Amino acid sequence: MRIYPTKPDKVYFYATCLIDLFEPNAGLDAITLLEQQGIDVIYIEKQTCCGQPAYTSGYNAEAKDIALNQMALFTEDYPVIVLSGSCGGMMHHHYQRLFQDSERLPQVTKFCDRVFELTEFLVNVCRAELKDRGEPTSVVMHTSCAARREMNVHVTATQLLNQLDNVELRQQDYESECCGFGGTFSVKHPNISQAMVEDKTRYIAATQADTLVSADWGCMLNINGAFEYQERPIKGRHLASFLLERTKGVQS
């Protein structure tokens, strides 16, 4: 079981490449959530991909190079807050596996211990207590396979949503099943991926929730794209943006 530190004064923020490219406002909203907890947030502009696509495709040497470049950016001993459970899992768990036979392992392990997914950090380190200022609504949540398996995001994200008095969290059938994105999986196996996301969107839509939320933008791109193709009215939002809107009345 992970031992969590006391709440720090400063953190590094790791936005992830998908947030940077497709939904930068979600990154800004996550920074505001952290600042609401009295924390100074440091964003290093040179950060890039965490290396997960290379690693899961078997390119370990390339993934090592990426990992070394990323770790070198965060020189101070501050927590590194990651805006995706799958990227968080890569940096917290798999960096150590990449360097398990290397003399760098102690240094890498020290870095990995500083990596936290956003909702994990808000719940277990900040002990955040959210006050809902929004109108009654309902949501359904999707968490990526890696986020559930490696960072327990389904637990901490649910705890945050359950703090919102006017939000009804509805459960979809087969909640833990993959949406079909899987990073490079959707490119290598498009027909299988399409069938999987059709299942996922059907179960989400069946809840009749007002909004879909997720802490993983890769899955959200896939699911939102399927919803748009199906001409369904529901659209997903990053959890950080939803939480900020509920607690401050601000919408990205």
Kindly state the tokens that stand for 149.
């398996």
Q: Do 21 and 120 belong together in one domain?
A: yes
How many CB atoms within 10 Å of residue 148? 20
Please check whether residue 207 is in contact with residue 170, taking contact to mean a CB–CB distance below 8 angstroms. Answer: yes
Q: Do 95 and 155 belong together in one domain?
A: no
- The CA angle 14-50-192, to the nearest 5 degrees, is 115
18 vs 218: CA distance, rounded Å: 7
Angle at which helix 24-36 crosses helix 239-248, to 10 degrees, equals 50
Q: Do 105 and 197 belong together in one domain?
A: no
28-32, 104-108, 175-179: which has the minimum mean pLDDT?
Answer: 175-179
Chain position carrying tokens 């509805």:
170
Number of domains in the chain: 2
Q: Rounded to two decimals, what is the model's pTM?
A: 0.93
164 vs 243: CA distance, rounded Å: 9
Give domain status of residue 131, yes or no.
Answer: no
Q: What is the mean pLDDT of residues 147-164?
A: 92
SS3 6: coil
Give domain status of residue 129, yes or no.
Answer: no
Q: Do 64 and 119 belong together in one domain?
A: yes
Give domain status of residue 244, yes or no.
Answer: yes
Amino acid 250: pLDDT: 54
Q: Do 107 and 49 belong together in one domain?
A: yes
CATH code, domain with 141: 3.40.50.11810
